[in-house]
Amino acid sequence: MATCFWLRSCGARRLGSTFPGCRLHPRAGGLVPAPGPAAPGPAQLRGYAGGLAGLSAALLRTDSFVGGRWLPAAATFPVQDPASGAALGMVADCGVSEARAAVRAAYEAFCSWRKVSAKERSSLLRKWYNLMIQNKDDLARIITAESGKPLKEAHGEILYSAFFLEWFSEEARRVYGDIIYTPAKDKRALVLKQPVGVAAVITPWNFPSAMITRKVGAALAAGCTVVVKPAEDTPFSALALAELASQAGIPPGVYNVIPCSRKNAKEVGEAICTDPLVSKISFTGSTTTGKILLHHAANSVKRVSMELGGLAPFIVFDSANVDQAVAGALASKFRNTGQTCVCSNRFLVQRGIHDAFVKAFAEAMKKNLHVGNGFEEGTTQGPLINEKAVEKVEKQVNDAVSKGATIVTGGKRHHLGKNFFEPTLLSNVTQDMLCTHEETFGPLAPVIKFDTEEEAIAIANATDVGLAGYFYSQDPAQIWRVAEQLEVGMVGVNEGLISSVECPFGGVKQSGLGREGSKYGIDEYLELKYVCYGGL
């Protein structure tokens, strides 16, 4: 039923099954079987592609993109719609040889791209941004198709994604050095900023477009080239960006994409991260995987940026405005069905306001959260990315209930399908429960009652990660104290949504290294060179 609605909403006619040897070619309004041998074209989708039929054929790429060319791999892997389980298409399953070829292409391109003027790099990034805006509807539908994200949120991600290209197109022309006057009268000291080289970019499925442009925009603006390995669940977004980069005139080899299956992900990741031609690794994902990549980087002392796991506290003090806190909690916790790295994971509510907050939060969840297919109008909560993600939420709920927690609302799988889970609120939560010390990545909000400010800060900081944190208070002195004492890289004060292209994104402790976005983001792709100019 969900798939039928999707096809209707995309304005596409229903497609029959396709079989090995049957090729598809683009036609206005959808994809139809080609009458004969298919000429090379922008949308030769392997296998069943009905779920993507209503989209622009030019953006539906399934091969790797290396050196400015679309290249097939020896094998393919399926990409599925998490809402219905239907196959969206078969994508090139790159291996070690394809990964190394992509690195070589990026290195060859770097030798010339680094010499391109900042103004020209800026202009090309701006053209890429303009094309994203022109194609924002189709790009958003691709995100919803492969990740399940509600279409309204997908549109928001595309704008956020494009804004990174716009931002770094402007920052490209603001890479300044320094002149240092030393005690020696016949010398001058210069500090230059130069691109580090080829960057290996490994991105997650939860923001399949924005996590690419946030890294790639900065890298290209600095004069670096990139090899992108997108998440196996969501390769179509990365490949669509490659098509638009090509249309924008980004030179061959500057932006390369090598999709691969979960089976090949480990060896492909290792290949690009250990290749001597790669100078930089940028990764967004789990802390566990980040540690593995750090080991790879250590062997050749590569530069790294790591945006890893979080366990964000959301603290509500007695002085807080309850309505504001509830609105912030909804936005922070349930965006992308709880599948963001900065989602609130633990709700700490002071005793004096606890009962009022829990009651208001439950009512707001029931009123404002609507589970459904991401293409259905009114859906705010789509599917989780796969059944394993559902099992993790279910395990945390069962663990909490077995240890005394109370289910206020939700608490079980949703009847829509195996990848859906009800938005869930738990009270009477204690610190020995899994949901308080294990990142959830799902629609679960556990509430812990506390008494004092000191107790809340101690609970919030009692973890080895520190990406984001949130708190609500109307006490100015308390706001300064808590903001300074929370051990996180980003703090939301009376605000549940904190991400912005203009602001630095990143964490402390085991939540990562470096910062992305903002004026600081481009520094992650630049080396400082000191030049001593003598004989003056």
Q: What is residue 12's predicted lDDT score, i.e. its pLDDT?
A: 32
Close Cβ partners of 383 (under 8 Å, ≥ 6 residues apart): 82, 83, 148, 337, 373, 374, 416, 417, 419, 420
What is the rounded distance in angstroms from the CA atom of residue 133 to the CA atom of residue 32?
Answer: 27
Output the CA–CA distances (angstroms, integers) from residue 73 to 63, 97, 486, in the order listed.
7, 10, 47
DSSP 8-state symbol, 39 = P
Q: Does residue 344 sit within a domain?
A: yes
Q: Does residue 379 sit within a domain?
A: yes
- 270 and 151 within one domain: yes
**Per-residue pLDDT tens digits for 200-246:** 999 999 999 999 999 999 999 999 999 999 999 999 999 999 999 99
What is the rounded distance in angstroms from the CA atom of residue 360 to the CA atom of residue 328?
Answer: 12
Using the 3D structure, point to which of 240, 274, 309 is the last residue of a domain.
Answer: 309
What is the rounded distance in angstroms from the CA atom of residue 246 to the CA atom of residue 225?
Answer: 14
The alpha carbon torsion through 195, 201, 206, 208 (nearest 10 deg) reads 80
User: Which neighbouring-strand residues pair with 426?
Assistant: 407, 446
Q: What is residue 26's predicted lDDT score, i.e. its pLDDT?
A: 29
Q: What is residue 515's predicted lDDT score, i.e. its pLDDT?
A: 97
- 347 and 304 within one domain: no
What is the rounded distance in angstroms from the CA atom of residue 513 to the CA atom of residue 307?
Answer: 7
pLDDT band at 57 (very low <50, low <70, confident <90, very high): confident
Q: Does residue 267 sit within a domain?
A: yes
Higher-scoring residue by pLDDT: 301, 50: 301
**Per-residue pLDDT tens digits for 364-412:** 999 999 999 999 999 999 999 999 999 999 999 999 999 999 999 999 9
Element (H, E) at 351: helix 351-368
Q: Helices (H) and strands (E) in the chain — how many of each? A: 15, 24
Apex 170 CA angle, 167 and 174, nearest 5: 125
What is the rounded distance in angstroms from the CA atom of residue 308 to the CA atom of residue 535?
Answer: 49
Q: Does residue 526 sit within a domain?
A: no
Q: What is residue 53's predicted lDDT score, i.e. its pLDDT?
A: 58
- Domain of 215, CATH number, reads 3.40.605.10
Pairing outcome for strands 424-427 and 444-450: parallel
- 296 and 320 within one domain: no
Q: With pLDDT > 70 as the criterion, what percentage of the chain qualifies?
A: 90
Residue 7 has pLDDT above 70, yes or no: no
Using the 3D structure, point to which of 280, 309, 338 is the last residue of a domain.
Answer: 309
pLDDT band at 58 (very low <50, low <70, confident <90, very high): confident
What is the Cα gyration radius of the chain? 24
pLDDT band at 55 (very low <50, low <70, confident <90, very high): low
Residues 5/12, Cβ–Cβ less than 8 Å: no
What would the two tokens of residue 36 be? 């004969």
Residue 467 has pLDDT above 60, yes or no: yes
Is residue 171 annotated as part of the catalytic site, yes or no? Answer: no
> Which regions of 8-165 does DSSP assign to beta strands (E)?
24-27, 30-33, 64-66, 69-71, 76-80, 87-92
Q: What is the mean pLDDT of the chain?
A: 90
pLDDT band at 1 (very low <50, low <70, confident <90, very high): very low
Close Cβ partners of 21 (under 8 Å, ≥ 6 residues apart): none
Measuring CA to CA, which residue among 245, 248, 288, 251 is closest to residue 266?
288
Q: Does residue 55 sit within a domain?
A: no
What would the two tokens of residue 57 be? 């054929």
- 329 and 245 within one domain: no
Residue 11 has pLDDT above 80, yes or no: no
What is the rounded distance in angstroms from the CA atom of residue 286 to the CA atom of residue 454?
Answer: 29
What would the two tokens of residue 441 be? 């990545």
- 303 and 318 within one domain: no
- 392 and 356 within one domain: yes
- Domain of 475, CATH number, reads 3.40.309.10
- 348 and 260 within one domain: no
What is the rounded distance in angstroms from the CA atom of residue 194 to the CA atom of residue 201?
Answer: 19
Close Cβ partners of 465 (under 8 Å, ≥ 6 residues apart): 287, 308, 309, 310, 311, 439, 507, 509, 510, 511
Residue 35 has pLDDT above 50, yes or no: no
Number of domains forming the structure of the chain? 2
Q: Does residue 54 sit within a domain?
A: no
What is the rounded distance in angstroms from the CA atom of residue 256 to the CA atom of residue 474?
Answer: 49
Apex 116 CA angle, 113 and 121, nearest 5: 90
Residue 54 has pLDDT above 90, yes or no: no
**211 HSE (CA, 13 A, CB side):** 28
- 430 and 287 within one domain: no
Q: Does residue 42 sit within a domain?
A: no
- 319 and 276 within one domain: no
H helical segments located in 223-338: 235-248, 262-274, 287-300, 322-334
> Of 98, 307, 394, 439, which residue is the catalytic one?
307
- 215 and 243 within one domain: yes
Q: Does residue 139 sit within a domain?
A: yes
**Per-residue pLDDT tens digits for 113-169:** 999 999 999 999 999 999 999 999 999 999 999 999 999 999 999 999 999 999 999
Residues 64/259, Cβ–Cβ less than 8 Å: yes
- 318 and 466 within one domain: yes
For residue 251, give its domain range: 64-309
Q: What is residue 309's predicted lDDT score, i.e. its pLDDT?
A: 92
The alpha carbon torsion through 275, 277, 279, 280 (nearest 10 deg) reads -50
Q: What is residue 49's predicted lDDT score, i.e. its pLDDT?
A: 37
- 255 and 141 within one domain: yes
pLDDT band at 343 (very low <50, low <70, confident <90, very high): very high
Using the 3D structure, point to which of 309, 334, 355 is the last residue of a domain.
Answer: 309
pLDDT band at 47 (very low <50, low <70, confident <90, very high): very low
Output the CA–CA distances (angstroms, integers) from residue 79 to 8, 52, 76, 145, 383, in the order listed.
21, 11, 10, 10, 15
Give the relative orientation of helices 118-134 and 210-222 as an angle to the nearest 10 degrees: 160
What is the rounded distance in angstroms from the CA atom of residue 161 to the CA atom of residue 85?
Answer: 27
